[in-house]
Amino acid sequence: MNSPDLSAKKIAIITENGFEEIELTSPKKALEEAGAIVHIISMQSTVRAWEKDHWSIELPVDVDISKANTDDYDALLIPGGVINPDKMRLHKEYISLAAEFLDSGKPVAAICHGPQLLIETGMIKGKDMTSFPSLKTDLINAGVNWMDKEVVNDNGLLTSRSPEDLPAFNKKLLEEIAEGARLTKEPLVPILIF
């Protein structure tokens, strides 16, 4: 099966220093190969990856988070790593942008420790999600229905457990972005006029 054509799509990746390298680079490559424009968004001018047990690559930031606008993007990706989400959740700019995406109904994807940032939004109660196992209790305490699955999709909120899940995560991410935004508000009830 071929990847969906995402040539008309623009994707935001929010990150801080300390993202798990493969959890940013693998989805980014899959998105770009499908034709999407991908922007790394951060408070930093460059962001440095963590790979297993050491600092690794440094990537340029495309957009400062103060200038990022949800309306400019079709989806949000939050890579994991132990350091990255822990740093992001200390800054209202990252929390606000994640909350705006959740509110928009556009796809939001988080892998490994990435869902830790979503806890801070206060908007994930009742959602089906997964994460790296060490976040299970935190997500349950936030009201999440935590599942031990390679990919969990709750109406466009896409989560995975670890780098081992990246092939399935990337595939589902492309599909979700191709489908687009979901109706997250109460459905409109037609008014019949006689």
**Catalytic annotation, pick one of 39, 54, 91, 112:** 112
Identity at 77, one-letter amino acid code: L
Question: Which residue type does 133 have?
Answer: P
162: CB partners within 8 A, 6+ apart: 80, 111, 112, 132
Q: Is 91 a catalytic residue?
A: no
Helices 21-33, 166-179: inter-axial angle, 10-degree rounding: 40
Are the CB atoms for 12 and 76 separated by under 8 Å?
A: yes
Spatial separation of the C-alpha atoms in residues 113 and 124, rounded to whole Å:
15
Cβ–Cβ under 8 Å, residues 143 and 124: yes
- Residue 113 appears among annotated catalytic residues: yes
Which residues are known to be catalytic?
A: 112-113
